[in-house]
């Protein structure tokens, strides 16, 4: 891990915000799994259904960037910072894959991405300042909730949209890996039920609005 000053950290976060919301964030360089299959035989209605779901997933990835940046900002444990940075790069792949898929489906991203980023960044900072145990509990719970959400999408995505399905499946694997890492960290403690429910309600608000706006 390279030590950087506080002012540099804030510039890095701002840079991440701009690239996340307006594009051009670099990830791990993995190929977009959705590019393996062309979107050809979808009806307009199916395209609209897929695009709405992928817009929600893209908004989730905007939030994921902000969560990790927020968790990194005040974290002092270098192992945690290293893992958060690695995970954030994988989330950047998800962000780019879902963004490209929305374009292929002829739709647009959520107009509220800057809000999702701001809210999630605040949560990431709060989790980090609450200490290592809560930070890990928060990370694991977030990733497990995302995993459940993506499994739900595999049930409702049009059956012949194999391209979007490949993206969702690849994301699922990564999210499970992130949760697994947190749950197997020495300081991990599961979050209390009340906080888990609060996070679920917050996610529902984001899903509702990013589906439409
Ligand atoms: Fe993700
Ligand atoms: Fe993740």
Q: Which CATH number fits domain 6-13+40-212: 3.40.50.300, 1.20.1260.10, 3.20.20.70, 1.20.1420.30?
A: 1.20.1260.10
Q: What spacing in Å lies between the alpha carbon of 97 and ligand 2's midpoint? A: 14
Q: Is 1's pLDDT higher than 60?
A: no
What is the SS3 string spanning 75-109? CCCHHHHHHHHHHHHHHHHHHHHHHHHHHHCCCCC
Q: What spacing in Å lies between the alpha carbon of 115 and ligand 1's midpoint? A: 18
- Position 184 confidence tier, pLDDT thresholds 50, 70, 90: very high
Residues by chain with Cβ below 5 Å of ion ligand 1: 64, 91, 94
**Cα(143)–Cα(171) distance, integer angstroms:** 11
- pLDDT at res. 160: 92
Contacts 24+ apart (CB under 8 A), 169-172: 169/33, 170/33, 170/97, 171/57, 171/94, 171/97, 172/147
Half-sphere exposure of 193 (CA within 13 A, CB side): 0
CA angle (10, 111, 176) in 5-degree steps: 65
- Position 4 confidence tier, pLDDT thresholds 50, 70, 90: low
Q: Which ligand is nearest to the CA of 182?
A: 2
Q: What spacing in Å lies between the alpha carbon of 149 and ligand 2's midpoint? A: 12
**Cα(80)–Cα(177) distance, integer angstroms:** 15
Q: What spacing in Å lies between the alpha carbon of 171 and ligand 2's midpoint? A: 8
Q: What spacing in Å lies between the alpha carbon of 120 and ligand 2's midpoint? A: 13
Q: Structural domain boundaries of the chain? A: 6-13+40-212
Q: What spacing in Å lies between the alpha carbon of 157 and ligand 1's midpoint? A: 17
- Position 75 confidence tier, pLDDT thresholds 50, 70, 90: confident
- Count CB atoms within 10 A of the CB of residue 115: 18
**Cα(204)–Cα(211) distance, integer angstroms:** 11
- pLDDT at res. 5: 64
Q: Is 175's pLDDT higher than 80?
A: yes
Q: What spacing in Å lies between the alpha carbon of 61 and ligand 1's midpoint? A: 5
Residues by chain with Cβ below 5 Å of ion ligand 2: 143, 175, 178
Question: Are 136 and 187 spatial neighbours (Cβ–Cβ below 8 Å)?
Answer: yes
pLDDT tens for residues 89-130?
999 999 999 999 999 999 999 999 999 999 999 999 998 888
Q: What spacing in Å lies between the alpha carbon of 32 and ligand 1's midpoint? A: 13
**What is the CA 132 to chain-centroid distance, rounded?**
21
Mean pLDDT over 179-188 rounds to: 93
Question: Are 71 and 16 spatial neighbours (Cβ–Cβ below 8 Å)?
Answer: no
Q: Which residue has the tokens 């790069």?
A: 89
What mean pLDDT is reported for the chain? Answer: 91
Full-prediction pTM beyond 0.85? yes
Q: What spacing in Å lies between the alpha carbon of 41 and ligand 2's midpoint? A: 31
**What is the CA 72 to chain-centroid distance, rounded?**
15
Q: What spacing in Å lies between the alpha carbon of 169 and ligand 1's midpoint? A: 11
Q: What share of the chain is helix, strand, coil (3-state, %, to 5)?
A: 75, 0, 25
Instruction: Please tell me what DSSP assigns to residue 41.
Output: S
Q: What spacing in Å lies between the alpha carbon of 170 and ligand 2's midpoint? A: 11
Q: Which residues of 130-162 are buried (b: 16+ CB within 10 A; e: fewer)?
A: eebebbbbbbbbbbbbbbebbeebeeebbeebb
Q: What spacing in Å lies between the alpha carbon of 43 and ligand 2's midpoint? A: 31
**Cα(158)–Cα(165) distance, integer angstroms:** 9
Q: Is 3's pLDDT higher than 80?
A: no
Q: Which ligand is nearest to the CA of 94?
A: 1
């Amino acid at each position: 891990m390279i030590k950087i000053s506080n002012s540099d950290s804030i510039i890095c976060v701002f840079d991440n915000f701009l690239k996340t919301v307006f594009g051009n964030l670099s990830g791990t360089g993995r190929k977009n799994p959705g590019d393996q299959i062309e979107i050809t035989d979808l009806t307009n209605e199916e395209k609209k259904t897929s695009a709405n779901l992928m817009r929600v997933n893209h908004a989730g990835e905007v939030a994921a960037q902000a969560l990790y940046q927020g968790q990194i900002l005040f974290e002092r444990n270098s192992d945690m910072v290293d893992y958060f940075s690695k995970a954030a790069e994988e989330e950047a792949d998800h962000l780019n894959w879902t963004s490209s898929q929305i374009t292929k489906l002829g739709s647009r991203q959520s107009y509220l991405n800057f809000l999702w980023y701001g809210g999630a960044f605040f949560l990431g900072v709060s989790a980090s300042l609450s200490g290592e145990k809560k930070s890990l509990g928060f990370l694991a719970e977030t990733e497990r909730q995302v995993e459940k959400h993506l499994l739900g999408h595999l049930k409702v995505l049009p059956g012949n949209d194999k391209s979007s399905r490949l993206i969702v499946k690849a994301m699922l694997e990564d999210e499970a890996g992130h949760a697994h890492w947190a749950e197997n960290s020495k300081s991990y403690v599961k979050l209390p039920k009340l906080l888990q429910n609060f996070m679920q309600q917050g996610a529902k608000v984001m899903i509702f609005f990013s589906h439409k706006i």
